[in-house]
Amino acid sequence: MSGDIYFGQHNQWAKEGQGKMIYFNGSIYEGGWLNDLKHFKGKMIDSTTGDVFSGDYLDGKRNGKGKMYYH
């Protein structure tokens, strides 16, 4: 068990649609999911640095346009 908490849509136990993941380390991702991976538009807040990325994701990784805000 990882200690991560997910709130949102799913399809046959896979994260799919819109949702919010609160990771055990305190980081938060809110946005689109497809096949259990971050996908489409989303926002990730890094609990360690306070940095925020808001933009496109593809297959779990940042991809395309987005903005990075450094704390």
Does some domain include residue 50?
Answer: yes
71 burial (CB, 10 Å; 0-12 / 13-18 / 19+) is exposed
Per residue in 14-64, pLDDT (tens digit) is 999 999 999 999 999 999 999 999 999 999 999 999 999 999 999 999 999
pLDDT score at 1: 61
At residue 60, the pLDDT reads 96
How many structural domains comprise the chain? 1
The answer to whether 21 and 28 are in contact (CB under 8 A) is: yes
Token pair recorded at residue 5: 């908490």
Q: What is the pLDDT of residue 52?
A: 98
Of 12, 42, 14, 17, the residue nearest 27 (C-alpha): 42
Handedness of CA 58, 60, 63, 65 (dihedral sign): positive
Indicate whether 71 belongs to any domain.
no
pLDDT-derived band at 2 (thresholds 50, 70, 90) equals confident
Range of the domain at 9: 5-59
Q: Give the distance between the most distant pair of CA atoms in the chain.
A: 37
- What is residue 55's predicted lDDT score, i.e. its pLDDT? 98
